[in-house]
Every structure is written in C-alpha cells, then in structure tokens.
A and B are shown apart, each in its own frame.
Chain A
C-alpha cells in the first residue's frame, strides 16, 4: 500500500511551491526553529532589552520618565544596601554551592550503591526539590520563628540552650538560616544529577582498579571524579545561576531583613522596583547582576569545554 501511495504521488503533478518549501530541509529547519525564536524573543530578549531601556531613564510607576544615562547605576553604586546585597549574593552563592556540591556528591555515591528500598529512597530524596519552594520555605520560616521556633524548643528541651536563639532577627543568623534552607532545597538536584552521571561510569573500571590494589579514595579521585567532572560542572553552572538570582527563599524567610541585612540582588531589585515603584532603579539593580553572571557562565563553559576535550 505504501508503495502504491508513493507511486501515485510520483505520478501526479508537482506539488505547489509552499509545499515544496516545507519539504526543503533548510526551510523546514527554519520553520521548526521559529516558535523557539519567537518564545525566546518574547520572554527573554524583550524583557532584557526593556530592562536596559528602563535602567537609563528616571521612570517610576505610572510615569514614563526621561533619559538619564547611567545616573541610576551611579546612584546604585553609591547605595550601601546595594553593596550589602552584592556581598550577600556572592557569599550566599559561594557557601551554598560548596555545600550543595559536597552533600549532593556524598548522597549520590550512597544512592549509587545497591540496598533494599533503593527506588523509594531515591524518590524520597527528591522531596525538597519537588515541593513548591514558597510552601517549604514557609515551613522553615515557622521553624526559625523568633518566638515559636521548634528548633529552639528542641535545643531547649535537650538542655543545649537556656534562652531563645534569634534566628531571623540577628543578621548573621538570618543569613545562616537562608543558607541552610537553600542547601536543603538544592542538594537533591545535585544528588540526582550526579547519580545519573555516576551510573554512566562503567563499574569495570573501578573493579579493575580494586584488583590492582587501589584504595576506595584513590578509586574515587583517579577514576570516578575525573569521569564525573563534566556532569558536575554543568550541574554547578545551573546551580550557580539559580542561586545567584535566588528570590523566593529570602523573600519569604526574611524579606531582606533584618534592616536590609540579607538582601540579595533579586530581593533588593524587587523591593525598589516593584515594592516602591522606582522602576528604573530596580532595573539598574537587576542588570548589575548580568555582567557578573555572564562572566561566571563564560568561565564555567570554557572550563567544561576544556574538560570535555581532555
């Protein structure tokens, strides 16, 4: 039947021009790419360009504003809260990334072993990543509540403390609290992604090394780690980008407080741009993140390329 259909088609008149265009591989590729390009344009390129345009005006909510050049960037640069937010963002990203990588790798190695209930445990591990961030962060907020903290209650009952620990009211403890929540939420992503990477490594390599007398640490350092490195770098890249632009955890837990001590780029930009309605300043704060993130991405991508070539 198929042969008949083909021969019928071949025997008829040439198809119209539009149909021929669609059969052309180059045009087809173009047609298939158009939806992606349109979506990227609408949801990435347009907001980005609009953000740049906003940041060079003195626009505020409901007022179009005029061109002011780099005045907003100058203003932001001299803003002590912005400088705190810059420091916080780097600190938050660096600390959480290190812990997420270490704990995620450790968990992935454990999950890569054979044990009873392996499938259930792997699914269970994903819970922090699956629960909507706002919901789980609210639960954490209650656990760190200044008055009714269950953590304080437990420590008090165990005799470890005599008074309340001011988790979210002390600047350093508030920062530590949001770091803990970010790590808790991010470890499953690292663990599952690295587990997928571990499973692509042939067990024979490890077995051969073990027969040759290599100790577990050596097997990890000279076999597993180098083979896992490309996956690790990609996972780390995604995590750094997400953490650098993190918003939900800080917004829910501390709102950037106490007294602006835990603001990150995103929360401060939101407070200024959306909360107070100073759109152009908010845009400038947001965009200040871009060159740094761009540099981080370039460095990491170059490194990944080098690792892959090697």
Chain B
C-alpha cells in the first residue's frame, strides 16, 4: 500500500486549494461566472395561473413556437403569485435573475428605478390594440415612460349561486351593499354564507376592500395625494363591513388566500364570492365533479355580477398583470423581441382564448374578441378593463400607493374591525400607517 507522508499530503491539498481559490478569486474579481458558448436565453417568470390550461399552452405550444421563430431559448418559470414580489426584490438586489417579471397591479411603481423603459414596445402594441385602458397606463407607466408592459386584466366579479339567491328572494344579484347584506343574512341563516378573503393575498382582498371604500366616498388619499383615510365616510364603510361580516360571511375568510374561496364555492360551502371567473371555468372543466345538491352541474347554477353600489356609486378594482424587465437583464433586446412576439395578435389571441374570459386584454380592442360571444355567463368580465380603478384613486397611482397596497393597509383596516377593533380605532391605525408612507 502506498504511504503518503504528511508533507506530501499538505503539498497535494495545498496545490488543490490554491487552484480552487484562484478560480474563485478570478470569478470574484471579474464579477461574472465563466462564459460558455450558448444561445440567448430569456428567463420569464409568471404566477401559477388560476387557469392551468394557459400555462400548459405556453409550455407545450406557444413557447416552443417562439423559440423557433426568434432563435432563442425561453426558460419559463411559474411561482405562487404572492412570491413574485420577494423574487423581484432579491433579483434586483443581487443583479441577477429572470429577464421578465410578471407583476400585479401597481407594483411596477415600487421597482421603477430598476425597470427598463419599454415604451418602444408598449406604444406600438397599444396603438395596434385600439389604445390602452386608463388602468393599463396607471399601473404601468411613470414619468412618461412605460416601466412595465401591460399584459392582461383579471376581472373581479361576484360568482354566485343563482338558485340559492332566488330561494332567498333575489332573482337578480343585489344592486346595493345593503341589499347584498340582506341577501347574505338570509343565506348565512340557511348555512350558505358569502365568502370573502380578508387576508394578505394579492387578488381577492384588495379587489374587494378598495371598491367598498371608494363606494362610500372614502379613499386613502385625495386628488392632491394628501392622506384622507380617517374620514366619516371611511368609518361608516368599516362599520358597515363589520356588521356585514357577522351577518353574512363565512368568518374563516380572515385566513383565506386567493384560492380558498374557489375551494369553498366549488364544494358548496359559500353562496357568493368575489372571483376572477376561475371558479366558473373550473366548473366548466369538470362538470361531472362539481354538482349542486340536486345533482345538476354546478356550472349551470353560477352567474357573475359586479360588486354592489355604495352611497356614492359603484366601483371596481381588477387584478392587473404586466411584465417588467429589470435593468440588470443582459438579454434586453431578446426579451423585448419576445414581448413583441407574445403580443402579436396571432399569438396573444391563442393565450387569450385559453383563458376563456378569466383575463381580458389591456387594450380596448379585446372587448371585441369573439371569446366574449361564446359564453354569456362571462359577459360581465368583458368590460372589466373599462370599469376598474387603480389603487391610490382618485390621485394618480405611484410608489406610495403601491407600498400601501403591498402592506395591505386598507384591507387590514377592515380585517381589524371585523376582529373586534372599533371602527374608529381601526381607521386611525390605518391613518397612522398611511402617514408613514405619504409624509
């Protein structure tokens, strides 16, 4: 057996360590990993779509077509929607990560310092699509530039059980909040409460609480951007919600995310919930699995309606999706080419059709898409882009409104109150939190 002396061992390991350290030192000095010959790769990150067929379409059909047409490789990654913000923060800070980030609502404003100007792509696509809705420019443009490329709008409408509402004496969906409360009270008494998330999740909680606040004439800021949340209108809306919650809602909603209400509705636990049509689309996909108590397909008992009117009107906020390109991206041209390819009508329409109305486009021409003529139950979603407001309304949105949204301050005001905090105190707490942002 060969013997190794201590000196020999130290020589061998010393040389190896020096080689390894030298290599590492090289990488640290240049700030980049060794370059290998490879085709351009665009890394695209999106949420796990609530319409899984759309992700399948992208993976199996559209992206291979794009790779062929553009001569590039596209890495498509999907994550939970609530994990997109942490991912973009860590990517921007480390200067490495996906080339295209899907973001919700006005979140692009939080990252505008690190966003590539996409005006050259966005302007052309908007013009070709008949012009953008105001929500598109509100969520995605700042300082005269497009900081994120508008992609789609997930309409937020109430999915409700027609037969149950009819049994409660409502042959059509209630038009006002008071009527909705009255219906909900009767339904809850029969073990069929309304369902609504008041948790920290990107979609359902803010798309319910912001329109409720606006419909009472309250807002987080006025037109000039001054914090005005602590108003009698806001307190009134919080008092209404507190009573409404006890009377009509499934109280588990405080711990729900954006998927809980889907499961609750599909299992027949709740009678109505604010939703982006994914409940109805799922019931269409599996008509034999989702049935009513009369053993008829659940899909035939679902209808959609916007949130009711409040004392000053009817409001909506619809979950907006856009794609931001961080400035660290080494593949900016390729990523822009991919965005242009994706938004070409021949390609975008395939994705749009797979959504079956769950999402509508960011430009006005999508209202004319034939998808809307295929199923009348989806009709209310057609005009979601036209009717929605952007967080921060009535002031123009921006990083401050995006921060308030990210911290769920408006949602938490209502959530605190339904947990027992007096309405005045809950609003005062919210005022304190908003002041930290707006002053």
Which residue numbers of A lie inside 8 Å of B, CB to CB? 1-2, 5, 9, 15, 19, 22-23, 28, 60-63, 75, 79-80, 145-148, 164, 166-171, 174, 254-261, 270-279
Contact = CB atoms under 8 A, between A and B. Distances in A.
Contact of A61 (B110, B250, B264, B436): B110
A22 B17 CA distance: 14
Contacts, number: 122
A61 B93 contact: yes
Name which of A166, A270, A273 has the most chain B CB atoms within 10 A of its CB. Answer: A166
Interface string B40-52: 0000000000000
Contacts of A278: 403
Contact of A75 (B7, B86, B436): B436
A80 B415 CA distance: 15
Given A61-B93, A277-B406, 4 more contacts: A5-B3, A28-B10, A61-B88, A169-B254
A174 B263 CA distance: 21
Contact of A258 (B6, B88, B198): B198
A259 B416 contact: yes
A276 B200 CA distance: 12
A148 B406 CA distance: 28
Q: How large is the interface on B (under 10, 10 to 19, 20 to 34, 35 or more residues)?
A: 35 or more
A169 B419 CA distance: 9
A32 to B, nearest CB: 10
Given A62-B111, A258-B199, A259-B254, A277 B89 contact: yes
Given A5-B5, A257-B199, A259-B419, A169 B252 contact: yes
Contacts of B6: 23
Interface in B251-277: 251-257, 260, 263-264, 267, 269
A258 B415 contact: yes
Contacts of A1: 3
Name which of A22, A60, A148, A258 has the most chain B CB atoms within 10 A of its CB. Answer: A258
B432 interface: yes
A148 B264 CA distance: 9
Contacts of B7: 15, 19, 22-23
A145 B260 CA distance: 9
Contacts of A270: 86
Contacts of A146: 250, 252-256, 260
Contacts of B403: 276, 278
B114 interface: yes
20 contacts: A1-B3, A15-B7, A60-B110, A61-B88, A61-B89, A61-B93, A61-B113, A79-B436, A145-B260, A146-B260, A147-B269, A166-B255, A167-B255, A255-B82, A258-B198, A258-B415, A259-B416, A259-B419, A270-B86, A277-B85
B255 A174 contact: yes
Contact of A166 (B10, B251, B260, B407): B251
A148 B263 contact: yes
B56 interface: no
Given A270-B86, A277-B89, A22 B10 contact: yes
Contacts of B253: 146, 169
B113 A63 contact: yes
Nearest to A282: B89
Contacts of B89: 61, 273-275, 277, 279
A257 B250 contact: no
Contacts of A171: 419
